[in-house]
Structures are given as structure tokens and as C-alpha cells.
Structure 1
Amino acid sequence: MARTASSLWRTLKAYQIYGANTDVGKTVMSTILCKAFERSDPAQNVWYLKPVSTGPLSEADDRHISRFTSQIKSHCLFQFDEPVSPHIAARTRPPLSDSEILDGVLKHLTECSQAGPGVALVETAGGVHSPTPSGSSQADLYRPLRLPICLVTDHRLGGISASISAFESLHVRGYDLDAVLQFQDDHYQNYSYLRSYFEKKGIPTVSIPQPPKRELNEEEDIEVMTEYYDKMAKNEGIGELLSELSKRHQTRIQRLEEMASRAYSQIWYPFTQHRDVSEDTILTIDSASGDFFQATDSTVTKDKNELALLSPTFDGSASWWTQGLGHGNPELSLAAAYAAGRYGHVMFAGTIHEPALTLAEKLLKNLKNPRLGKVFYSDNGSTGMEVATKMALTASLERYKWDVPKSDVGILGLKGSYHGDTIGAMDCSEPSTYNEKVHWYQGRGYWFDFPQVKMKDGSWVVEPPAGMEDIFGETHVYPSLGDVFDIKSRYDSVAGQKYRKYIEETLHRLVKKEGKTFGGLIMEPVILGAAGMLFADPLFQHCLVQVVRQSSHIFGPSDVNSADINTWTGLPVIFDEVFTGLYRLGRFSSASFLQVHPDISVHAKLLTGGLVPLCTTLASDSIYDAFIGSEKRDALLHGHSYTAHAVGCHVANTSLNTLLEMDRSGQWQVYKEDWADAAAAPSSSSSAPSTASSETGLEVWSSWSKSFIQQISKSRDVESVFALGSVLAINLHDNERAGYNSSAAAGLQKKLLEAPTELKFHSRGLGNVFYLMASQTSTRETLQSIERLLLDVLS
């Protein structure tokens, strides 16, 4: 498979020949380069590969190479007889996917690398964006390889524009242009202009005479072309170019081999105890595509005898939970380039631009939360939560008019919660490893312990916290995960009654007996990520919101008498969907799982598909109204220079449009069908409050297969496991140390790295919790290969 092959070798110099247009002489230039490489070092191998060719076999490009060279090994992977575009020619054959072509190219190049020192040229078909047999752009097809590019420019009328456009198309996709090859034309003189253009960018350029016109007699034509090729292979400019290409190849390898060492001496990494960091533990990423990094293996880079230098490595944390549409997604790259070209950055105080307005309207529409009416922009999840906390506390103060010091006002939340590392967001979490050594941390609030959802030994259970069985009841087993989410039928159960009673009594004790003051309820819906992937019982979270909203009499005197059912009551409810929102768990909003609507909702990470930082904090009108006053100090005085960054907003619109279309088109249907019996039918009767969402019966599914979850839950090393959406979390047994002090996840990571398999992946553990995060575009084949490896290691 393509993911298990390198695209950089120590002794094989591989280049891809692109043309600025069709019929610009790519094959002629390829022939010249092949002969020049052969001449420069007769001991090296030279290969030529045409992945896809159309037209009669007698006119095929690989045949042309063979005709005019003696030692060059030429090959074509897929030949179509009809002389038309590949997407048309391929209609007469069984479907040919992009991955088949990519795998074929990698297989061929890998075989070349094993044959000894050499050079390989991979010639594309037509222009940069000529269609592949599947109809995609070949610039996107070959992007995962990221081979250095030799671009053959267009010497004809209009060729300057075509050549620059071709370069920009490649550049925006992350290709490196190592050389520009030009045919001279004294009439248009494109080569003169383009030489200046590209050399200013540090790209070597060589211009050579055009080939002679074709002779009517084939033998004479071959004789004339043979003489031309022999002469051009000795061209001084071509010779200098080969030396430059070789130098660039070696420089690229050297830089990759040095980066870990240089980083070790200069970089301070986040969330990292540097006592455990060494040059060998730092992963050097050359590029990324889809779910995979193209990264160096430290054992390989130190062994000069190893041929392959890069290993496709599965991005197991989805790059800290941001990746949704795959690395190097061309649509997102183009969206960013468009917005950067149209706006750059424009200030957002008293102004509006189309990307920001469109994104605000899109979020308000698709979150389907009737309470939300306003959108506030910031740069990341922590800042967005800081804004949300300011909103909630100010709204509560305006309503309840507390007469207490500001430092005495706290929030309600859940144990283990984490909302970021800005000062205010940090204070919204209980004491933990993240904040115990932060000098200004105060931890203002109360955090409820809660029952958790797990699969244990093949069964879904809701398990109370240790020592709280008398409060929450014993562990309860459910037929399916869908039954756990069937809040309507569970609401009046014994568990539901116990939850509400416990919450009511706790709030009364904290406020009426202990005199505490609270200004908001903050929760991560369903899964608490940084806490260790804790899967909260959705019924408990639902009950917590409902009880808080019905407890205005506890929190303070209130004169709320609004006919609007969307006016906040009790305390403002904040949902931190930075991690869990926007299809991470399989739905646009994770609030829908709880069947309650927050007053404030925070979204980041998947918002931009993992390309650029951006965060939105959405609030109800009743929250917004608390900041309307006669003085500036009454306003929400928060912002930063890049508020509503136009590039980020436009990328977010593109990302959300793609995710919504994937949902509408049934792209995840294969996963939903696998989990079909995990979704419980909606209950026909219930006394749950009427403010609950009507979205019961929606699919509960995961891109990780149901059978795998059941199997791995029975492993002797696994305490419990769960999968939801693209999230997989495995809780490992550790009888000696618990939580973040455990090294169980690190131990599993080590076993996986040492496993005898070509599949590599990068992951991060959370104490005794090993988790993996797929993207929303991960293929079933990729995930099943990871599942098999995990089963093997944990069996």
C-alpha cells in the first residue's frame, strides 16, 4: 500500500516531470535528462516511468525513451489505446483508482531503489491539472509522493501565463520545484521572461534549442532526433542542472538528518517533560498527506546504509484533534490562498467581511440551537473558553447582583475537565497535573463526579465512580450504545431519579449551607478529552443541565419573567465543543447527544479542518444583552489582532461545507451500517422536560469497527474501551499507578513501535489511556489495518 512506502531514498534520486500544458515536450525533455544522467555516471541506473499513457502503443512515451536510449529502463503502468484524456480513455476498462496508480508508482520506485544507485524520472500526462483515470487532478493524485518537480514550460503563445499558473498550482499544493526546463523560441522568447521569473525565486532554469521538425521519413526522423538528443545530453546547461539536482537531493537528506538534533537544542515543546526528550524521540516530519506524516525514522537516518529515509506514519492523535479532512487537503489550501490573496488580514472592529458573516450564519443554522443568536470570534479553544466564561459570569452578575468579591465567584463543572491554559479557562478546571504548579491558579468552582460509559468484556456499561455506588447505584449493563443515549426512556429510571436528587442536594448544600456563589455551568459534552478520554453518562449531563436551569431560587433572587423560553435560567450553560463538536463524535454538534441546548457554545479544532487556528464562541441573545450598557466598560472588552481572520473564516466555511456534504451524501454510511444495531429506537413516551432536543434516534456510530471494540475489550490488558465517531480510547490495566502517573499507555506505544510490521503510527497517551483519533476522511482499509495490529499486540 502507498502508506507503507517511502518517497525519499538515499541512493535513488527520483524526480517528477510536469508540463505547463499538454504537448510542450515533456517526453523530449525526459529523454534528454535520461541520456544526460546516463552520460554523467555510466555506473548508475536510470529509470523512466510513465504511470498513465493514452494513445497507440507504437506512439507511447516509454517506447520513445527506449527507441532513443540504450541502457535506460523505461516502463508504463497503465496504457489506454484511445488518444484522449485519461478520464475518457479509462471508461472502456474497469475503474482505475488514484490509489492503484499511486501504489504502482511507489512499488516501482521502491524496486528501483533496491537495485543500486540511480535516477528515476516519473513523467505525468498532459498539463498539471490533466485528469486522472478517475477524473481527479493528477496534481492531487501525486501529491502524497511530493517528489521534486522538473517543470517543462510552455514556449508557445500564452505560454508565460500557462507556465506561471502551473507553478502556482504545484506550489500551493506543497510541491518543491527543483528545476525549470525550457525550449527556446526566438519569436515569443518566453524562456527569457520565465528565466528571470524563476531565478528570482531561487529555482534553477535551463533553456535549450527546440527539437528539429519531424521528417516525413521515419528512419531520417530517428536519425535527426538521435543526433539532437546526443547533442543536448552534452549541453553545458543540462550538465550544470544535473549537478544542482544532485546537490539539492543531498541537501534535503542532510537537513532531515540534522533537524532532530537542532530542534533538541533550541525547541521548548508543549505538554512535554524534557527530561524524557532526546534526539531519538523527536519525529522529523517532511510532509503530510491524508492521515499520514511522511516522517523520518531516527534509526534509519542514523544508518547510512539504509535506502529509505521516510516512513508514512499514521497521525494517531489527528494532530491534537484538529485533523478532519486530511493533511494537505487541496480544497482547504486553495481556500486559504484565495482569502489571503483577497484580504490578507483586515481588522474586525466595526467591520465585516464575507467569510466571517457566512461562517456565523452557517454555524447558527447547522447547530440547530434556538438559544444561540450571536457569534464571537477568537483564535483558539482556550481563548474561546475564556470569552465564554466572561460572558457567563457577567450575565449572572447582571441578573443576581451578587454582593461578593469577584474572587469568590466560581463555576460548576465535571471532575477531570480541562478547558485550556489561559488563566481564566484554567481556573474553570479542578486541581490537576496541568495546573498544580501554576502560581496564579486558584481553581474557582465545584466539579461533580459522574458515572462513565465503557465497554467491558464485550458489554456496554454505565459505571459509577468508585465509592459512590450508594449515590448513583450499581453498574448497569445496556444492550447497545444507542440504549445508553436513549435519554427519553432513561429519564425516569432509577438512575435518572438518583442523578437529579444528588445534583439538587449538592447545589443546595454548596449555595445555601456553605455560602458559595456560582456564575455558570461548564461542560465538555459526552467526552472529557484531556482528562483521559472520560465518557460521561449522557443522562447525568442532561440532568445536570436541567437541574441547574430549574434552580434559580438556589442561586439568587431573580426577576426573570420572560416569555422567551430561550432566555437562560438558573445559570448560563456553556458547552465546550472544541474537541467533541463538528462531527468528531459523528454529529455536527455533540450537544445533540445530550438533548439539551447550551446558552453558550465554543467551537474550534475541526472548524478549519486542521489547517489554521480559529475559534468561535456562540451565545444567546439573553447573554448578549447583559453587555449592553451606557459605558464602554459595560461591553465585552475582549479581542486580539487577528480576530475573525479572513483566511481562517474562509477555510472554516470550506471545511464545514465539505463535512456537511459528506454527511448528506452518505460517505460514512458503511460505518453507520456496521453500528446499526447500536442505535436504540426513540422512546414513544417520556416525562423528560419539553426543552429536550427531539434529535433522539440519530445514529450512534464510529469509524472504528464494532467487532474490533468488542474483541479488544476482552483483552487481559484492557480495563475498558469505547469508540464514538472518530475517537477510540483504550483504558489499560495498571495496578500500581493510575491516571497521568501511569506508564501503561507508553508501554503499549513501545510495543506497537517494536511490532514486526511496516505500519507505523504516531500517538500520544494519557497516563493509562491509549487513544487514537481518525480523521473524518480516514478509509476503512487504513483503520482496519490499525485494528489488526492492536489486536495482535494486545492478544
Structure 2
Amino acid sequence: MAPVGAALWRSLRAHQVYGANTDVGKTIVSTVLCNAVQRQKQQAAFLKPVSTGPLDDADDQHLKRFGAGTLTKCLYQFDEPVSPHIAARQKTIPRDDDLLASIHKTLTGWAQSDIDFALVETAGGVHSPGPNGNSQADLYRPLRLPIVLVADARLGGISCSISAYESLLLRGYDVQSVLLFRDDYYKNHEYLREFFNNKSIPLVPLPAPPARPFPQDVDSQKRDEEAMATYYQRVSQESDILRLLEDMSKRNTDRVQRLEEMADRAQDLIWYPFTQHQGMAAKDITVIDSAHDDYFQTFRSDRTIANESELQPTFDGSASWWTQGLGHGNPELSLSAAYAAGRYGHVMFAGAVHEPALSLADKLLKTIGNPRFTKVFYTDNGSTGMEVAVKMGLRAACERYGWDASQEQISILGLKGSYHGDTIGVMDCSEPSTFNKKVEWYRGRGHWFDFPLVKMVQGKWKVEVPTSLQKELGSDVEFDSLGAVFDLDQRVNSDSGRRYRDYIYCTIEDLVKRQGMKFGALILEPVLLGAGGMLFCDPLFQRCLNEVVRDNPELFTSNSVSPKQSPSWSGLPVIFDEVFTGLYRLGRRSSASFLGVHADVAVNAKLLTGGLIPLCTTVASQEIFEAFSSPEKSDALLHGHSYTAHAVGCTVAVDSLRAMAQLDTDGSWDGYRADWGAKVQPPESGAVPNVWSVWSQGLLKDLSCAETVESVFALGTVLVIALRDVHGGGYTSTASKGLQQKLATGGDQFNVHSRVLGNVLYLMSSVTSKPQSLREMEALLRSALL
């Protein structure tokens, strides 16, 4: 089933009615509003997605009797007068996605007819369960209709009304109006009017409806109906109600207008990252109204059908620059952030500690599972976290070998195509490229190895050796499966492993002994080099590079100097940049596990907080930590940020790690693993699980045989498609633009926002993506390429 988009139309003012509690009069309020619309010679409609209780008492039947011609509809009716999740037990339960699709389809039909105003009324209170037991506040969130909140006029109603409002606000709803019945004893309306007016939300108190006569008989029912009809006729004409309807109409118009203007305003005011603005037009800017799960809700500036929805679901194909792990608008993470913000705000961290930072440090070290790591240093993003890592590595190496960095150049070892961030320091840890060569202070301090790439070509996995290195490393090698590529225990003593080690050793020896270079650290993005072009490095090459660097300390110093001995590392400190690849992005909690290598320093960000808030950690071994220990303050790691270890980020990160660990073990990914033939082993077994991806093997094989495709690969949540380019690939290539445009156009139900790196287009899901959603994406890819 296609994703359900947010609901917004120019012609149809659609709202959702939530109650602060049960039995607060939602249906009476709905009837008042629909009556008022009908009396203005406009057409109103009322939708009850789920109704429980006898048909005669159903809310849509009440609208039919008293709605003055209002069109009514109920999607699912359950006879038992209990909560929907209980009533639905005796019947076929509609899936949440099916229920949402039915609502959206109904509203779309009304928008394309002569309906001007529609209300979608929930059952019970804000958190009353839907048919599947999920809170209605979460169930209906993909639609993100503006809210009419019916407050509670009874004793305790102030508290539950404000709580209901805050629950909706926490989930990204726009509460646009509040109504409740006037009670001159409790006077909740007086207090709540001031509360909501301070938030620019109009509150309208209504006169209480006439009490129902008791006992009920034919005559009393007739009197009751007459009294209610008189009540609706009178109240629906009150000036406060008419002003409220005008305000609701204006808010709808203003919302559409703001969306229409956003691209032009952004073009005037904003300087975008990684963007050449010359030639850029406002139409090239994606206007995002909201986001939920894997999808943005984007403004459709190119609508071709009258009364078509102003918003459409757009698959977040780059996982919002690799950050999304647990889906947009995740209510659990939002609640975590709100709790920490309320408990702490931000508090000073230097020389202090708070529970979230301590809990995260402990949980992160256990999650990564590297026995070398003992210390966690907090920063705010991957680039600054890597700055800290480089400082750590260089200090440890200089102390080991007795170098004075103020007098001599200390460089790093890495791989071609590496990129570790946009700050000036870590830019120097990458070879010259489009990203840095025009940055005036860039110097490029290091040596970067070219390396063999893993890719699928014509349905076969192979390790492709650069032509310039085939004399040293041998020719390309084919493999039966991706798992065989990662079977490093089998491959490490192969001819390829021997060639790799010999080549690496001889290269470093030449650089140090003959060219006089000094190296302070080995820095790697394990397995997958992101910004450099989504380069899938042969993991055996990275394994051998680690082994040569660590097993041969004599390579890095002259014969006249004996390095200090170390209990935990030799050669050079090894730094793993897992900002992109770590924490389940590639299907494992640490991408280092693919290599079977324990680094001395590692950096994690992006998925660390599930995609909600910036935070970064640089973790290090005890010995790296002790390299900064001295009686002199100037020898300390003098690095920090005003928002170091901010409690909101740390709290969200703890819950994010917990949620991802649960997905790893509760069977959520078993279907993907089965498709790739990966075995599921319990964590306590100590076994390394096989490799797998959320993207199907069949898709890769088919795409790899497409005429326009050079190669593909997938691992974990990442899918990469390299397009053929007769002029050669690289960051400046435009070969992938055509595919990107096809995905942006999309199909009838959704489109795709994607990023390209030259001739490479990549797609990324979150770790919570639904298989059905991914298969729909795959169908779109097939139609675009096959």
C-alpha cells in the first residue's frame, strides 16, 4: 500500500476533532460547527473513522439527525460500547495503514466535490486506543490535520485539557481552536481561555446542551430531539462560532500561502550547504511541511489537477543526510527530549556530571563492544568529534615517538576518497578534492592509499582492483555472495591478503624511510566511505592496513630512536570514523565488527540520537586518555563546546540505542536477513552475524544488469547505484541526475528526495522502515532503470 500523505487542500477546510477526555461532547461540538457552516450556504461533511456502540447512538447518526444537511460517513462501526481496541476484537481489525488510507481517500473525494468544510472525529480522548491498540494521537499523526480540541468543563478538566494539548503539541500537531461547554460553577472556560489565548489559539465556550430527559420514552425522545434542534439552531448562529469559522478558514488559507512563498523566501534568505547557487531557482528547493516515519510531506508546487492535495509523501532517500534511524516524528524520542529539556534545559558539563551523560557513556561503551575503550568525550557533530579524535591520535603518537609537532610535520594515513568533516582541521586529513581544494587554509597532510572496491556487476559480486595497482595487488576476484567477501578469517591468508600486506608495508616504508614522512594516526571509515562517493572498500584491504600499521612499529621511527612501549597499541593509533557507518547503519551496532579490528579511538554521531538532535561522541582507550595526563594544564585536551554533553541529546541517545538494540534482537529484521541468507545468532553466542540489507537481493541483481548501471551494492540500510558515465565518474559527474529526476517525479502516490555524489545515487532507509514501504521504493527504482 502506498504511503498516506498529510491532508491539506485549498478548497476543503479539513480538521480533526480530538477530545481532552471521554464524554466531553465532541459530537455536539462537531454538530454545532457543521450547522454553522451549512447555514452559511456552504457544504459540510463529517467523518467518523471508528465508532463503537449501538448504531442508533452512533455519532454519525447524530449528525444526520441534527446536522442540517451535513454529509456524514463512518468507516468502521463496532457494536460494543467500549474502547475501539476492545470492540474490534470480535471482528476483522482494520490495519492502521488501511484506516488512514480510507480517511485520506474520503477527504480527497470530498475535496474534489463541492464540500467546503470537513471534520474527522476521533473516539474518546487524545490517547484513547484505536482498533489496534495504538494511541489515536499516534495513529492519526501521518494525516496531521489541524486540530479542534474539545476541552473538559468538568472537575479536573483544566488539567486534562492542558495535558491533551501538550500531548498533541509534542507530536507536531497544530491545535487551531479549542471549544468547551460553559460551566458557571467550575468556570474552566475562564482559566483555559487565558491559557490558550496566550498561545494565540482561540477558545470558544458554548452553552451547555439541554439535559436529556429521564426516563426515556417516545414522548421524551421527541422532546429531547426538539430541544437539541433548537439548541443547534441557536448556538450555530452565535457570533463567536461564526468568528471561529472565519479564523479556521483564514488559517487554512494562510498555511497554503506560506507554503507557496517558502521557496522564494528561502532563495532570498538562505545560503545552502554543498550548493552552487548560481543557476539555482526557487523551484529547485523542496518545501517540507512536516515529516513522519520515512517520508517528508512536501508542498506540490506543480499540481496539475484541480483540488488535488497540496502535500505529497516524499521518501527521505538520504535519511536526512544519514541521520534518520528511528523515523521522523518518533513520539518516544520526542518525549525523551521534552523530559530532558524540562528536567535540565542545558547545564554546564566541565567538571560536572548529570545522569543522561553518565548513562549514555556506559551504554555506548557496552554497545560498541570494543574492550580497548574506556573513555567517552562529548562534542556536537561528526566533524568536531573527528577534530577531537585527530588531536587524541597525534598526541599519543608524538608522545610515543618523541616527536615535536611544533617543529615537524606529523601526517596521517588513510584512504583515497575519505572525508571526515568540513572543519579546517579534519579537512587536512583528506586528499585534495572538490570539497577542500579551494579552501584557502587547506594543506592536505597525509598519504591516502588507493584500494580495491566491492561491487555487484551483472549479477556477480566482485572485488575490483584499480588498474594502476593490478601489478601489486592482482586482478579482480569474483565471489559467490557478499557474505563471502566479508569472510575475512578465510581471506586473510589468501593471495590477495598477502599482496595487500606487502604493498601496504612497502608503501609506508618508502614514505617514512626514503621520503622522511612522519605519521601520527591511521584514520579509516570502516567498510564504506560516504561523502567521497559511497565507496565500498574491500574489507580485507582495511583489515590488512590495520595489521601492517599495528604489527610493524619499526616502520614509523628511525633506527636511532626506540619508541616507548605500550600495553594496548603499537605502530600508530587507529581511529575509526563511524559517524556515518556506525550504530546499525550497515546492519551492525559497529561497522568495525566487519573488519574484526578494535580501534584506539572511534567517533559516532548521526544515528546516535535516532535522527532527532545533534550529538557526537569520541571514545578512546585508557592509554590514549593517559597521553594527556600531566601536571600541566596546557597538556590537557583543551577542547569543548558550550553545549557539551547537553542533557537533551544524551537522554535521546540512550533511548535511541536501547530501541535499536531491541530491533536487533526481537526479530524485526529477520525477514531481511532471511532474504540474504544471514543467520540470526543471539548476542551472547559471540558469533559474528552474516551480512544483510533491507534492500532485496533480487533488486540488486536486476539493477546490476541494467544498461545504464555500472554497478550496485547494498549493506544494512544503504543502497548505492553507480551510473555509467562515458566521461568518467567522480563528484562532478552529472550521470545520476536523470535517475534523480525520475525519482523526484515519482509515481501516482509518492516521490523520492535523493542526493547524488557525481555518477552515484544512493538511497538509505531508517532501521524502522516497513518492508512494504521499501518494496514500493524498489518498484519505483525498477520502473526508472529497467
Counterpart in the other structure of 1:772:
763
Q: What residue is the counterpart of 1:297 in the other structure? A: 300
What is the Cα deviation at residue 552 of structure 1?
Answer: 1.0
Match in the other structure for 1:690: none
CA distance in 2, matches of 1:791, 1:26: 47
Contact residue 533 and residue 769 of structure 1 kept, 8 A? yes
8 Å CA contact 1:552–1:558 kept in 2: the answer is no
What displacement does 1:743 show? 0.5
Q: What is the deviation of 1:779? A: 1.0
In structure 2, the partner of 1:598 is 599
User: TM-score normalized by structure 2?
Assistant: 0.97
Alignment partner, residue 496 of structure 1: 497
Q: Distance in 2 between matches of 1:4 and 1:744?
A: 32
Tell me: CA distance 1:114–1:790, structure 2 relative to 1, closer, same or farther (3 Å).
same
Note if contact 1:348-1:644 (Cα within 8 Å) is conserved in structure 2.
Answer: yes
Aligned to 1:79: 77
1:50 to 48, 51, 68: 48
SS in 2 for 1:408: coil
- Counterpart residue type for residue 30 of structure 2: S
Q: How many residues align?
A: 776
User: Is 1:11 aligned to 2:2, yes or no?
Assistant: no
Residue 307, structure 1, aligned to residue 303, structure 2:
no
SS at the partner of 1:467?
helix
CA deviation digits over 1:342-400, x for unaligned, max 9? 00000100000000000000011111100000000000000000000000000111111
- 1:470-481, aligned counterparts within 5 Å? 470-481=471-482
* Matched residue, 1:318: 319
Aligned with 1:575: secondary structure? strand
The verdict on how the C-alpha distance between 1:294 and 1:370 changes in structure 2, with shifts beyond 3 A counting, is same
For residues 110-143 of structure 1, the C-alpha deviation after alignment (integer angstroms, 9 at most, x for no partner) is 1111113511100011010001111111001111
Are 1:734 and 2:725 an aligned pair? yes
Q: Deviations over 1:667-692 (max 9, x none)?
A: 11110111116x799xxxxxxxxxxx
| 1:145 maps to 2:143 | yes
Deviations 1:549-581 (A, max 9, x none): 01211112444445x4xx121100000000000
Partners of 2:107 and 2:142 in 1: how far apart? Answer: 14
Aligned to 2:753: 762
> Can you list the C-alpha shifts for 1:148-184, whole angstroms capped at 9, x where unaligned?
1010000000000010000000011111111010100
Asked if the contact 1:6–1:110 (Cα under 8 Å) also holds between the matched residues in 2, the reply is: no
Taking the TM superposition and a 5 Å limit, the aligned residue runs for 1:358-507 are 358-403=359-404, 405=406, 408-507=409-508
Q: 1:114 maps to what in 2?
A: 112
Give me the whole-angstrom Cα distance separating, in 2, the residues matched to 1:157 and 1:758.
46
Structure 1 position 403, deviation (Å): 4.6
CA RMSD of aligned residues (A): 1.6
Give the deviation of 1:758 after TM superposition. 3.0
Q: 1:236 aligned to 207, 222, 239, which one?
A: 239
Q: Structure 1 residue 304: deviation in Å?
A: 9.5
Aligned-partner Cα distance in 1 for 2:188–2:747: 54
Among residues 218, 221, 224, which one is paired with 1:218 in the alignment? 221
Q: Is the 8 A contact 2:527 2:594 kept in 1?
A: yes
1:44-68 alpha-carbon deviations (Å, 9 max, x no partner): 3211001111111111111111011
With over 3 angstroms needed to count, the CA separation of the structure-2 counterparts of 1:407 and 1:726, relative to structure 1, is farther
Q: Aligned-pair distance for 1:297?
A: 2.1
* 2:285 corresponds to which of 249, 269, 282: 282
Q: Give yes or no for contact 2:296–2:313 (8 Å, CA) kept in 1.
A: yes
Q: Report if aligned partners of 1:453, 1:536 keep a CA contact under 8 Å in 2.
A: yes
Instruction: Measure how far apart 1:71 and its partner are.
Output: 1.5
Q: Distance in 1 between matches of 2:748 and 2:585?
A: 29
**SS of equivalent residue, structure 1 residue 28:** helix
- SS of equivalent to 1:374: strand
CA pair 404-649 structure 1, distance change in 2 beyond 3 A: closer
Match 1:156 to one of 154, 157, 166: 154
Note the C-alpha offset of 1:545: 0.5
Q: What's 2:255 paired with?
A: 252
Q: Structure 2: which 5+ residue stretches go unaligned?
A: none
How many angstroms apart in 1 are the aligned matches of 2:752 and 2:273? 20
SS of equivalent residue, structure 1 residue 276: coil
Q: What letter corresponds to residue 31 of structure 2 in structure 1?
A: T
Do the aligned residues in 2 keep the contact of 1:381 with 1:602 (CA within 8 Å)? yes
Q: Is the 8 A contact 1:712 1:794 kept in 2?
A: yes
How far did 1:751 drift? 2.7
Q: Is the 8 A contact 1:154 1:182 kept in 2?
A: yes
| Distance (whole Å) between structure 2 residues aligned to residue 694 and residue 464 of structure 1 | 35
Moved more, 377-386 or 67-76: 67-76
1:704 Cα offset (Å): 0.4
Q: Which amino acid aligns with 1:672?
A: R
The range that moved more, 714-723 or 100-109, is 100-109
Counterpart Cα distance in 2 of 1:392 and 1:273: 35
Structure 1 letter corresponding to 2:422: D
Contact 1:525 1:590 in 2 (8 A): yes
Give the secondary-structure state (helix, strand or coil) at the position aligned to 1:728: strand
Partners of 1:307 and 1:694 in 2: CA distance: 54
2:63 is equivalent to residue 62 of structure 1: no
- Alpha carbons of 1:484 and 1:641: their partners in 2 closer, same or farther (altered >3 Å)? same
SS at match of 1:468: helix
Partner Cα distance (1:319, 1:204) in 2: 35
Residue 792 (structure 1) aligned with residue 783 (structure 2): yes
Structure 1 spans left out of the alignment, 5+ residues? 682-692
Contact in 1 for aligned 2:500/2:541 (Cα 8 Å): yes
Question: Would you say the 8 A contact 1:24–1:154 is kept in 2?
Answer: yes
Aligned pair in 2 of structure 1 residues 605, 172: CA closer, same or farther (>3 Å)?
Answer: same
Partner of 2:3, secondary structure, is helix
Match of 1:662 in 2: 663
Matched, 1:268 2:259: no
Q: Which amino acid aligns with 1:637?
A: L
